[in-house]
Amino acid sequence: MAPHSANLWVLVGLGLAGILIMTRKLKKHAMKQDFGAFIQKLQLLPPPQPAPPKAPHPLTSLTFVLSDIFDVDGHVTTFGHPEWARTHEAASQTSPVVSALVEGGATCIGTTVVDELAYGISGENKHYGTPTNPAVPARIPGGSSSGAAVSVAANLVDFALGIDTIGGVRLPAGFCGILGFRPSYGAVSHNGIIPVSKSLDTVGWFAKDPDILRRVGHILLQAPVVIQRNPQQIFIADDCFQHINVPLDRISQVVIKSTEKLFGRQVLKHINLEEYLCTKLPSLKELSNQNRNGELKASLKSLTNVMKFLQRHEFRLMHKEWINIVKPDLHPAVSADLHEKFEGSDVELENCKSVRNEMRAAVNSLLKDEGILVIPTVADPPAKSGGKEILSEDYQSRAFSLLSIASISGCCQVTVPLGFYDKCPVSVSLIAQHGGDRFLLDTLQTMYTTLQEQVDIAAKTKSSRNVLSQEQSAEIAKEKGNQAYKDKQWQKAIGFYTEAIKLSGNNATYYSNRAQAYLELGSYLQAEADCTRAINLDKKNVKAYFRRGRAREMLGYYKDAIDDFNYALILEPTNKMAASAAKRLRKLFQ
């Protein structure tokens, strides 16, 4: 072949390669335009506006999307899996909640990605692609309603509909830095929606603007117009905030300061939620007491087990036959959960129903008509995309412990973004009693601007404090804790000691001091766990041995308690309290 012919073929090859590369780049760019959120673009147009003097439709000019779990007339719902779409026919009518929004003046522009079979919480979907989290692109958007949350976060639409079973709206709202509302169980119709777990499923929605969130709520809840009320009590669940990976001044303190500014300090109440639930949920109390290792939120972990049992049992009841016949390719976590041996007895199912009833009664009794419970939405920042962190038992347990509160009680909950910490979105959640949806949306509307103002103040304050080392800041927090302890403000002391631990987690004194405050509250499992950590950091911490001995004595672990008192005496032979405690227990039990 002549040299000029060879050169020609080289040029042609390079040209084709260039075209291929450009095509890939254009496809990638196109995907970025909608952040990979959509399954299908479509249009559901509202009816014409009424003639004056009638008011325009309440949702006029607003656009929205649907998680691909809602029926739309003439369209096949994928349920997050192509095999579901292949084996099911197009819907013959549109879901009533979708129709209500369109009739209210909003325009639907498409359906969006959900986790496979809407079963997970990561927002990842290997079949349709994982939507890109606009707030932090390298991390997961959260699920199951990932595409809906991403559409709102990316300003592609004004609001979006999703399904929240075990956190499918609340968690992606927190991860994407937007508002997410889970209504009271049964408050919004489930008709025309593929069920995941009929006793847990709720239709939730996302927005960036609290006014839009509220307007959508008025359409979907169909609740009568009532005079707006301010909350009379706002309960801060201190124990839930003590184990999150964000400083307290960026979350709980923002809520506290906003509450004081809007409603006065007298409205604020502090509560150890786990201890409260242990007194109100007899079926979970024994499980919590039997947990000897002092793990975080034993009773909430037990609630998680109930939630997961109901989800798995009811999902299998509805869809197991389809899964066994079609044998779809599933995400490993979903496949393991649905295919592993599962023998849920009628007795276990009835016990779960009892827990659900007890939980709703407990939360309603606490909050009544005009109370709000404040908890973190999630304990950890969104996991990295494609990583295994989201699959870890610890990560999921920490997430579900918080998400299970509203899922099991059936109460309404709203996720509220509070800016960023360490480049990831952070949020807080407000919970009202079952049926308090209008009240919760009104409270959010009242508090939202002040909350955002306090977020800005906290961020600026942090910048001014950067001149202090973390160790210095930790010592300041510890001293504040000591003062609160002296004033017998045990929960407040725990909060300050927790802050010190977050700033300097290898200081045994901070754990030992927090254990002492836990002892005053009767939180013996937490006290035992803190003392153990203190001893691991400092084998000569006499106070930690003595305090662990006290905690173990109260838990009924008498031999272990005697050993702790004896070791405290070895380290400090003149310790009269340890000597007296060891002598008393030896007389009784040896």
Q: What is the pLDDT of residues 60-104, one digit of tens each?
A: 999 999 999 999 999 999 999 999 999 999 999 999 999 999 999
Do residues 447 and 262 lie in contact, with contact meaning Cβ atoms separated by under 8 Å?
Answer: yes
Q: How far, in Å, CA of 450 to CA of 578, rounded?
A: 50
Pairing of strands 371-376, 424-432: antiparallel
Backbone angles phi, psi at 176, to 5 degrees: -100, -5
Q: How far, in Å, CA of 453 to CA of 463, rounded?
A: 16
Count of helices and strands (H, E) across the chain: 22, 11
Do residues 299 and 359 lie in contact, with contact meaning Cβ atoms separated by under 8 Å?
Answer: no
Local structure of residue 250 (DSSP, 8 states): G
Q: What's the confidence (pLDDT) of residue 31? A: 44
Peptide bond into 573 cis (omega under 30): no
What order do you get walking across the sheet with 371-376 strand by strand? 38-44, 107-112, 63-67, 159-164, 202-207, 179-182, 412-421, 424-432, 371-376, 233-237, 268-271
Q: What's the confidence (pLDDT) of residue 224? A: 73
Q: What's the confidence (pLDDT) of residue 4? A: 53
Q: What's the confidence (pLDDT) of residue 294? A: 37
Q: What's the confidence (pLDDT) of residue 463? A: 54
Q: What's the confidence (pLDDT) of residue 459? A: 82
Q: How far, in Å, CA of 97 to CA of 391, rounded?
A: 33
Q: How far, in Å, CA of 561 to CA of 2, rounded?
A: 93
Q: What's the confidence (pLDDT) of residue 288? A: 46
Q: How far, in Å, CA of 72 to CA of 79, rounded?
A: 13
Q: What's the confidence (pLDDT) of residue 7? A: 54
Cα→Cα distances 254→238, 334, 418, 503, 526, Å: 13, 37, 8, 19, 26
Each residue's pLDDT tens digit, 574-584: 999 999 998 88
Residues of the chain with pLDDT under 50: 1, 10, 12, 19-31, 287-297, 466-467
- Enter the pTM of the model: 0.78
